[in-house]
Amino acid sequence: MELYNYFRSSASYRVRIALALKGLDYDYKPVHLQKNEQFNESYAAVSAARLVPLLRDGEHAVTQSLAIIEYLDETHPEPPLLPKTPIDRARVRTLALDIACEIHPLNNLRVLRYLVRDMKVAEEDKNRWYRHWVETGLETVERQLAAAPARYCHGDTPTLADCVLVPQIFNAQRFACRLDHVPHVMRVFEACMALPAFEDTRPEKCPDAA
C-alpha cells in the first residue's frame, strides 16, 4: 500500500493512526500542501480532488480519510475500529463526524488561505476564526463523551472516533486554542497518546516534517 499524505494534514494523521493500529506497512508518499504539490500534474493524475490523504492499495485508490479508514477496517478487520452493534457504530461515527464535518472543514488550509488571500482577513482575525470553531465544536464532543465516559471515545479500545479526535487536538494546540473547558476530550487524548500507534505517527515524526 501507498499513502499520499502531508505530515501536518490532520486528515492524513487520521489514516496514519489507523494503519498503525492495524499494524499495516505502507510506503509514505509526501505531498507538500504548503508548496502546492497537490496541484502538480503527477499528483493530479492520481487524485481527482487534488487532496490528501489518498491510499493506493494495488490497483485501487481510495480518498477521504474516513472512507479510507472504513476501507481498512473492512479489508483488515483486526483490530476493529468500529464496534459490533449498529447503535455503537452509529455513536462512533457521530463522534468522528462531529469533528470531520463540523470542525475541520471550517479550518482546513484551503479555507484559511481564502480568508487571508481573498478576503484580506488579518492574521490574528484568521486565528480567532480558527479558535472559535475548534473550541465551540469540541464542546459538542465533550458533551457526548461526558454522557458515556470511557477510556477512549467509545469503550476500552481505540476506534474511528479516536483516529479523528487526536489530530484535531494537535491542530488545536498548534493554534493555541482553549482546551481546559473539555476535560473529557483531553483525558481521551492523553489515553490515546500513551499508545505507540498515536505517538509514533504524530506530525513531527513524519519523514517530510524536516
- For position 3, what pLDDT does the model report? 97
- For position 38, what pLDDT does the model report? 86
- For position 139, what pLDDT does the model report? 98
- For position 210, what pLDDT does the model report? 73
pLDDT tens for each residue of the chain, 210 residues long: 999 999 999 999 999 999 999 999 999 999 988 887 788 888 878 887 888 999 999 999 999 999 999 999 999 999 999 999 999 999 999 999 999 999 999 998 889 999 999 999 999 999 999 999 999 999 999 999 999 999 999 999 999 999 999 999 999 999 999 999 999 999 999 999 999 999 999 999 999 997
- H or E stretch including 121? none
Return the CATH fold of 2-79.
Glutaredoxin (3.40.30)
d(CA 175, CA 86): 36
**Rg of the chain in Å (alpha carbons):** 17
- For position 49, what pLDDT does the model report? 82
- For position 33, what pLDDT does the model report? 84
- For position 144, what pLDDT does the model report? 98
The whole-model pTM stands at 0.94
Kindly report, as residue ranges, where domains of CATH 1.20.1050.10 are found in the chain: 86-197
CATH of 86-197, one of 3.40.50.620, 1.20.1050.10, 3.40.630.30, 2.40.30.30: 1.20.1050.10
- For position 40, what pLDDT does the model report? 84
CA distances 181 to 59, 60, 102, 107, 143, Å, are: 46, 42, 18, 20, 11
- For position 155, what pLDDT does the model report? 97
d(CA 198, CA 39): 29
d(CA 134, CA 28): 29
Q: Which residues contact 176 (CB under 8 A, 6 or more apart)?
A: 127, 131
Kindly report, as residue ranges, where domains of CATH 3.40.30.10 are found in the chain: 2-79
| Relative orientation angle of helices 123-147 and 183-193, to the nearest 10 degrees | 90
